[in-house]
Every structure is written in structure tokens, then in C-alpha cells.
Structure 1
């Protein structure tokens, strides 16, 4: 069966979003995610694609009388009964939760503690240089950890580590600020037994710039064209519609070929007050980005290997859930996971890459049906926005604390600028709101004692 003109009729929508429980990640914490219920006339579609095989799962946000609902699915061939199914709405809700844009938060440490640690290292190893000093190298050797390589890439400090035992590796990582959660020994040990190494990264802040749904209908078909008809869906629509596409492949991310695919701006620091206004922030941010692209772009909000997530807005889908969505290649070798060599009880890895696409459309801005291509790009990406809670101790405690206070003002200015660029909100009003919450230069100056002016010669050559 080939699918040509999907989604038309008296009532039609293609998608929606949702929320879930927090999880630790990036040495920070996931605190919120964008909810599709923020949008009216929203639809969700899950697409599973492998060569010419496709399974489409369509969910509508129709809220009227069920008897008045209609979803028109014109097709070239007549589908057999076994090619049509109805799905559990929870499947797409879970996909929605797993892929939703998210908000994470960090808490700054006492800058004086960092300063004292660096002083101690400098006294113990005056000739040490580079990102990893001799003391850390010696500690690593004592714990059976080998630093195979270290790199500076953009705002990240990256290490490649190998180790003899999981306990030693976890101890070294915790001692060096990576905060590995309790109970990770078994998982880390299993990787080490396979001869695997660990890629670890830290953000170097000095380089850092800154319910009323009907059950979804599923159709399985084969077609050399990978496309999603949306034009019929605009016939009876009042205004623009929101469409969320969750595309799953085993090769890599999915992109549109006849419209521009744009990554939603990501990994930007925003003011603390956004935590209480994340829904409003996300709606305005998306609307602003749509406007910047003249309403003619498809936005990528997530692209990730389904085997894991970081930070997790929801747990990855299970193998059984993926099968229900139509992922047909999981057990095509005829073997169930438990019968394979090396099987271990617990969640099993899956070879599924998921891409979340979001567009706002009508017949004028999207006159053509969507056509897609599966790429080999497996680089991970997510819509992610960062809150950084400042340290609120005595800024006069040490010189590093005073310097930190000066840097805070610059950081808050950058957060306000980021938020204005993302959403189109007025930057002056953002700063006023930040100041009301205690995030301003005036709030810093209240806590700082007048700084003693040093003799001019102490300010030469960086001595001051």
C-alpha cells in the first residue's frame, strides 16, 4: 500500500506535547519541559522509516463530539486490515515527553573554595601546567585511572579516560567535580569489562559565551517516497496549526527536503525567573523564531539515540513500546534479546534514532506536502535552556569572591540579552524583572565593601 494524501476532513490535527519527572544530568538538574498542551490546533505524528517501509501513527487534538470526528486518509492502494491499527495514546505522549525542549539548572560553588584549591595545587606542584595538573595525574594513577587524552573544544574541557576498576574511576571523577551519582559502579564496570573508554566533558565557564485526544490511528505501508501530506489538513482549519513529527530510523536524523530545517536555538543561559514562566517563554520563543524565518521553516527540537538521554525529560521508550509504534527492525534476526550471547537482565539497548520536528503552518506558508530524507547524521541535539543560580555568600571573603561578583553582573547582562534575542521580549523590562528578584549590579554593590586601591606598581604585568 502506498500513502499519498493523509490527514484531511471535518476535524484534523496532527500533534501535541507533555511533561514528566525530573532527572539529574550534566552535573545539573532537569527542572521543566515544554508542554504541547500550550498550543491550540496541535497534532502529533510518529513516523517509523526503514528503507521503503513506513509506519505512521497519527494523533489528533479533536475535542468535539466523537461522532463528528473525521480523519480522511486517501491512499493509492487499498490497505489490508492488518495494515491498520489503533494505538495507545500513551505511546506518543511518552515520545512527546522524552523529546520535549527542557530547562536545566546549576548552582555555582563558593569561588573561595575553588581559589584555595588552586592555591594548594600551585604550592604542591609549581611546575604543573595545562587543564589537568600533576597532582590530578598522580591521583589518577593511584586509583588505576589513565588519562589517555585531554582537549579543549569550544567551551568544553574534554578527557578520554580508561581505568582498571569502576570504583577507582568513579572516585577520581567525583574528586574532580564530575559528580557521578551513587550506584553507578555496576554500569561503569560493565563498560570497562568490554574494554571501553570514557569520554567526559566539563563546561569551562571562562570560555562559555553565554487530554481530549482520540486514540491515534496507525498505518503500515511501503513507498519509495518518504513524505507526509499536510495540505488537506488546512482546508477546515481556523488559522495556523502546530505539527509535531517524531521520526524514528536506525540510520540517523530526519530532515525535510522541500522546506528549510532549522535547529531551534539551544544551550543558552536565561534568567532565573524563566523557571516559573517556562511555558510562556517557550511559546514566545518559538513564535519569535518562526517570525525570523518568515513562517516557512521546520524546526528541529530534538535528535538523539533512543538508548539514552542526558538530561532525561522522560525515560527512553522500551523495546515493547517501540514495537507498538512500528519499529520493525528490532528483532528481525529472529532472536529475542534474552537468547543472545552476553544478555543481561534489565533494559536492553535499541538501535533507534529519534528526531523531533515542529512547524507552524497554513496553506499559504506550507503549500506543499512535507517530504523527508533519512540522513546518516547521528550527532545528538536537544532544545535545552540553562538556569545558573549564583553563589550568595560573602563577596568580601576573598579576592576570588570579589572577582566572581564582578563577573556575575556581566553574566546577568548576557542572560537578559539571550532572553531578548530568543523571545523578542524587551531587554529593559527583562532587566527590571531580574533586579526585582535580586539579580542586578545594585544587589551586588550592596554586599561589597569599598575596594582598597592598590599602588600602581602592583597593577603592572598582572601582579594586581
Structure 2
């Protein structure tokens, strides 16, 4: 059995976007990346609730996950969450493309039309459990707890040394990636315990869906950090991770790395709508750089959004993610979400992520605006001025798009000429 190390977990300055009346037409969510994971981290005082979701696509029998934790978790501190809730949060916070249509410059009194959105017996189990305990103790590993949680079988392990833990896991059928013993040694030295989750095939097969649900853990700790070193071990290439951090106060900032801001609020040519996935990937790659890093893509009070790539999460779903202070069924209050996108390979970002909660409630989002030139006859003096100014605007859009993606200006201009009315070419 291969063991899947998600980026997992101890417990554990940006420009403001002004409000506008555009509407969402495309978004850049986690579906654009194949090797990625999503972590929802709710932090309230010393209480942490962490929901972990991966895009694992192999056979359920080959799936397992190990998570460093600061203490032995009780059964009521481990549960599963509906994957749709995490997907909703991803969609709600995703960088988005919006569009406007220019009015007829010769008829300024006409109102803009309303936009349209583009969108086993118990005795046998006891024998098995006892046998497993004996095998573990022989390797210096103590099984502190053993649970059945939804489709998962959970072990909580304490180890004296990494060699014993690695040997025990290997003997139990887990295939560890190269270098795992060294990383495990660091966490053992820090006093960490280990949650190991694997799929129970009999319970999983009883489900209609073969998707693996996100796993959630909760606990108290003074530390507010996210160990990512285990998550890098089995990454064949650059690994992507999305972090959604929910707090009462305001933005959650990265304390020990310089988080970059995703370029935002720029005007882009209208052809970007047809290649939005490629556009976002190129822009993100240029922003994060070859050395890897972390980029802030969204920071907003969940009571509202402008524009909305998805409706804000209802309080019932927020409570399932661990937002215990979200009361009632109305609009979320005092729930602030910060979204980060990290990308790194084995040799990059050698330190685990440390976060801090702040009172900063300034809004930020990755958004990109398309302005469709007026497509009609222009006969007035104001119209001729509009055509001239629009040509200048299209040139500026080409330069801006090149600066944030690295695409050549000449190829951008060719695509602009293909997608605008003849008067503006």
C-alpha cells in the first residue's frame, strides 16, 4: 500500500480591491491542477479544526495518509466532511474573470442592459487489534488509539524513533517514499504523534460514490503552523496546495515566508475568456517563481462578495468546517477567509508554514476585467474619440497581459486583432 503524505499538520501586504458592478464569467479553482491538495484551517483562539482533502485518483486500496498531530486525538476529534463543502469554498474564493460591455459612445443616455452570467465480529476485531499492538511494540511504536471514522480506519501512533515507525508501517503494507524516516525523525523529536488513515474497503464499497471524503481533525494548541515537509516526499514534480484559513478577526498571514500577492484588478483582452485556465497558470507560475513559494489569492469577509464566483457558504456548512461561532441560518457574520496557493518541489520551502491571525479586514481578490469594445457604427465626434482611446486601451491591455504572464506582446496583439471589431484593429 502506498502511503500518501498530504502537507499535513501540527496544529496546530496587499492592495485593497474596490467594489464594482461587474459579474463573474470564469474562475481558477483547484480543478486546474492535477497534483494538489486542499486544507481548510479554522483557527479560533487556541482551537484548530483542520479539514484535509486530496485529489487522489488511484485505487482505494492504495490510499493512506499520515498526519503529524500535537497530541493523541479522541474519536470525537476525528470525522469526515462532505467534499462538496470544500469544493464550494474553493469555488467561492477562486480568482475570477469578469466582463463589461462598452455603451454606444454616441448614445450615452442609453442604460446598460442587465448582464447575463456565463456559469467483522467484535471478538475477531479484538484479536486483530491485540496482534497489531504486539507488532507495533516490537518496533518501538505504541498504538495510542484505533478508530473507525466513516470510510477510514484510523490509527494514532506514538514512536520512539523514526526507524521503528518506518519499519512498522512498511511491515503493515505501507510503501513509504524515500527520505520519510528523516522527516519523521524531526516530528518525533518535536513530540508529535501520528494519525494514520487508510480506506476500509468493506465500508467504502458500500458507498455509491468512490470519491474519498475529506478527513477532519480538531484539537487545541498554542502553535499555529502547518508542516509541509511530509507532503513533499512523494511529489513527482511541483506540488500545488490550496489553504483556506477561516478566522473571526481578519486576515491570516504567513509569518515565516514572504507571501506574494497575485496580480489583480487589471484590464485584460477579451480573448482571455477562452483561455482563462492557461492565463491563470501562466500568471501564477510567473508570480510564484521557479524557487516555489506561496501566493495570496483572496481575503474577504464572508458576509458578502463582489463579484461572487459562488454564493457565500451557509452557516450550516461553515459549522461543519469548524466555524462554531457561525450561528443561525443567515448570512455569515465575523467569518473572514484568506486563501493561499502554494507551489513547491522537494528541494523548496524547507521550513514548515507558520501563520498569525491579524485584525486586517481589507478586501483582496484575484480578479481580471474584460471590457468589450462597442460593436456598432460610430458616427459622432465622441465616437471617433472613443475609437482612438479604445485602440490605446487595447495596447495597454496587451502590455499588461504580457507583464503578468510572460506571453509575448506580439502574439497577444495578434489574438486581440482576431477578437475585436475591425474598427479597433
- Tell me the TM-score normalized by structure 1: 0.66
Counterpart-to-counterpart distance in 2, 1:82 and 1:180: 48
* Secondary structure in structure 1 of the residue aligned to 2:88: helix
Q: 1:62 aligns with which of 56, 62, 68?
A: 56
Is 1:311 the equivalent of 2:294?
no
Contact 1:12/1:60 (CA < 8 Å) preserved in 2? no
CA contact (8 A) 1:259 1:296 kept: no
Tell me, what secondary structure is at the counterpart of 2:67?
coil
Distance 1:213 1:253, change over 3 A: farther
Counterpart secondary structure, 1:386: strand
Change (3 A) 1:48 1:410: same
For the Cα contact (< 8 Å) 2:245–2:252, is it kept in 1?
yes
Contact kept, 8 Å, 1:254 with 1:355, in 2: the verdict is: yes
- Is 1:421 the counterpart of 2:417? The answer is no
Q: How many residue pairs end up in the alignment?
A: 322
Q: 3-state SS of the aligned residue for 2:356?
A: strand
How far apart are 1:10 and its partner, in Å? Answer: 1.8
For 1:264, the equivalent position in structure 2 comes to 262
Equivalent of 1:352 in 335, 340, 348: 335
Give 2:346's match in structure 1, choosing from 360, 363, 367.
Answer: 363
How far 1:380 sits from its partner (Å)? 0.8
Structure 2 gaps of 5+ residues are 9-18, 117-208
Query: How do 1:210-225 residues align onto structure 2 when only pairs under 5 Å count?
Result: 213-225=211-223
CA distance in 1, matches of 2:22, 2:223: 42
Cα separation, 1, equivalents of 2:114 and 2:396? 27
271, 276, 283: which one pairs with 2:274?
A: 276
Which residue number corresponds to residue 103 of structure 1? 97
- Structure 1 residues 400 and 59, CA, compared in 2 at 3 Å: closer, same or farther? same
Native 8 Å contact 1:13 1:44 kept in 2: no
Counterpart selection for 2:249 from 251, 263, 267: 251
Relative distance call for 1:77 and 1:12 in structure 2 (3 A) is closer
TM-score by length of 2: 0.71
| C-alpha contact 2:268 2:400 (8 A) present in aligned 1 | yes
Per-residue deviation, 1:14: 5.5
- The aligned residue for residue 327 of structure 1 is 323
Query: RMSD between aligned alpha carbons?
Result: 2.4
Unaligned runs of 5+ in 1: 1-8, 16-24, 118-174, 182-210, 332-336, 338-345, 447-464
Q: Residues 92 and 432 of structure 1: is their aligned pair in 2 closer, same or farther, counting only changes over 3 Å?
A: same
1:122 is matched with none
Secondary structure in 2 matching 1:95: helix
Instruction: Give me the whole-angstrom Cα distance separating, in 2, the residues matched to 1:437 and 1:178.
Output: 22
1:59–1:213: 8 Å Cα contact kept in structure 2? no
Aligned partners of 1:27 and 1:178 also within 8 Å: no
* CA distance in 1: counterparts of 2:424 and 2:297, whole angstroms: 40
TM-aligned CA deviation for residue 35 of structure 1: 3.0
Distance 1:264 1:445, change over 3 A: closer
